[in-house]
Chain A
Amino acid sequence: MALLRLIGRRLALAVPGLLGVVVVTFLLNRALPGDPAAFFAGPAATRQAVEEVRARLGLNRSLPEQFLSYVRDLARGDLGASLTTGQPVVQDLVARLPASLELTLAGLLLAMAVALPLGVAAATRPDSWIDHASRVITTAGVSLPIFFTGLLLVYVFYFLLGWAPAPLGRLDAFSIAPSPVTGFLVLDALIARDVTVAWAAVKHLALPAITLGLFAMAPIARMTRASMLGVLSSDFIRTARASGLAPSTVLVTYAFRNAMLPVVTLLGMVLSFLLGANVLVEKVFAWPGIGSYALEALIASDYAPVQGFVLMMATLYVFLNLALDIIYGLADPRVRIEA
């Protein structure tokens, strides 16, 4: 019950964030270079034709009126049409979103799977070789430009070693994509019991996911280490140890759960970086997600897809933060009582 109340309150808190996102994307829409009416009317249009298009697009009305009709379009799921693909932007984005999500989530899971144990190990054995190793990795992780890491991995694992497939998308041309269920190729192939395709999808996913993971690992490992160090030196850990609890119980049940709270908070920031970095990684690996879709549109001066992409990313980020808030509530009972 308390949990439901917490979720309700967090949902209400996400509303101003979403509203701000909509206002900003509207402003970005209005600030577009050039005159959209002249653009849509075509180069041969007369002045009168341009004015007609302007009236049809509603560009001659006041800003608040335009904002209202923008919000109405959004509510109907209308983000305009892409000039390059000729499709409604929403349709294009929804078709490509699973590829981006698969990549981001794989990167995040990979980062957490490595960074959490690394941070804990570094905190329990300060100044040991593992502590130094984790410091080197985290410093390198924040200094390496993500597109550069991706290219280095391509050079080593594709060109030199030949272990990875060519960095050209999610599957080879000769593999047949499984029928979409989740949109995540690896899962879909497993659902279709096609182990060969699943393995091919994993191989294509590996390098881009490792690139993202290396990048996200640094802040998570650093924060886990700092937070664990703080918790391990606190009184209740000393009491737990003095009471004769098994070291693993003290470490996992007592220390780790408490140390996770700041890490969960940090994940919000990490996700912001990951969603941005996703665009760069998609470009390096020709990954057919929403990032490379927006980039193609941007190069072609086709702005509706770019705005739709920014809006979708921001909405996604707001909801991911909401999910993190709820996870935080699950991990920390105090938050539930306050709600």
Chain B
Amino acid sequence: MFFRHARYVIGDNPVTALAAGLFAVLVALAVLGPFLAPHDPLLSDTARKLEPPSARHWFGTDQVGRDVLSRVIVATRLDLAISLSAVALAFAAGSLFGACAGYFGGWTDRVVTRVTDTIMAFPLFVLAMGIVAALGNTLANIVYATAIINVPFYARMARAEVNVRREAGFVDAARLAGNGPARILAVHLFPNCLPPMVVQASLNLGWAILNAAGLSFIGLGVRPPTPEWGIMVADGAAFIVSGEWWMSLFPGLALMLAVFCFNLLGDGIRDLIDPRRRT
């Protein structure tokens, strides 16, 4: 049944199929990256530095002669890992706090709402910068900072979704049957809130990648020589004014494709599980 529906929706919008294909490629690169890369991503060869794309180096070489193609491929795993773990953390924390706020109301609700409002009172990328500066410039803190600025979106959504169902008949029935609040929330209410939250998460992934890459672009988190798209674009920035475009272009394109893929995929998942919001 679900598959027939999926085939119908995807048939209606072939772009979703394209996005799914792209996603599969990204995952394959993330898993198999080190085996697929034609060269060692960390091996420098100063005799071949700043070479434009050629048959030997498809994406050219950087300022110390490392192969850009290999670095772009190997970086996939790190970039996806950062954004996926940030979104997963934000999803878990946001839905927990939001669901509690929506279910219990009262002071729980006031505290959660106040905290999310305070986070949203900051320009989010600037807050992420401040968090990384305060907690220390490490990769883990990039993940935490990206997660924190994403939490309000999930918390607000979970709160609203739980709130409208709090007094529903099936919740009353579960309560009468002797279920405690924790069980009602986890087993009865939360699964009903999942569809819109999953759509939000997949739309959020692209934004999380952009934020994490932005942080590493300004020199936070990932340290050279680790290959990562944001820092590779930053490395290439110094050479673009003298015309060496390939160092920045290819990691930037990879980043753009990943974000593009997640945005389209989010739209596709939304069409799949919530036909009313189809655009």
Q: Which residues of A contact B (CB under 8 A)?
A: 16-18, 20-21, 23-25, 27-29, 31-33, 139, 142-148, 151-152, 154-155, 158-159, 166-167, 271-277, 279-280, 283-284, 294-295, 298-299, 303, 306-307, 309-310, 313-314, 317-318
Contact = CB atoms under 8 A, between A and B. Distances in A.
A155 B240 contact: yes
A147 B214 contact: yes
Given A139-B260, A148-B233, A17 B121 contact: yes
Given A151-B252, A309-B126, 7 more contacts: A142-B263, A145-B259, A148-B252, A148-B255, A272-B123, A276-B214, A283-B217
Contacts of B121: 17-18, 20-21, 314, 317-318
A154 B239 CA distance: 11
Contacts of A21: 118, 121-122
A309 to B, nearest CB: 8
A147 B217 contact: yes
Given A139-B263, A142-B263, A313 B252 contact: no
Contacts of B234: 147
A280 B214 contact: yes
B255 A276 contact: no
Contacts of B214: 145-147, 276, 280
Contacts of A299: 219
A143 B264 CA distance: 10
Nearest to B131: A28
B123 A284 contact: no
Contacts, number: 152
24 contacts: A17-B117, A28-B130, A28-B134, A32-B134, A33-B135, A139-B260, A142-B259, A143-B256, A147-B214, A147-B217, A147-B230, A147-B234, A151-B240, A152-B249, A167-B241, A272-B122, A273-B123, A280-B217, A303-B133, A306-B130, A307-B134, A310-B133, A314-B121, A314-B126
A20 B256 contact: no
B71 to A, nearest CB: 16
Contacts of B125: 273, 275-277, 279-280
A154 B263 contact: no
B122 A24 contact: yes
A154 B126 CA distance: 24
Contacts of A294: 129
Interface in B224-264: 230, 233-234, 236-237, 240-243, 245, 248-249, 252, 255-256, 259-260, 263
The 6 closest A-B pairs by CB, nearest first: A276-B125, A20-B118, A148-B252, A275-B123, A310-B130, A28-B134
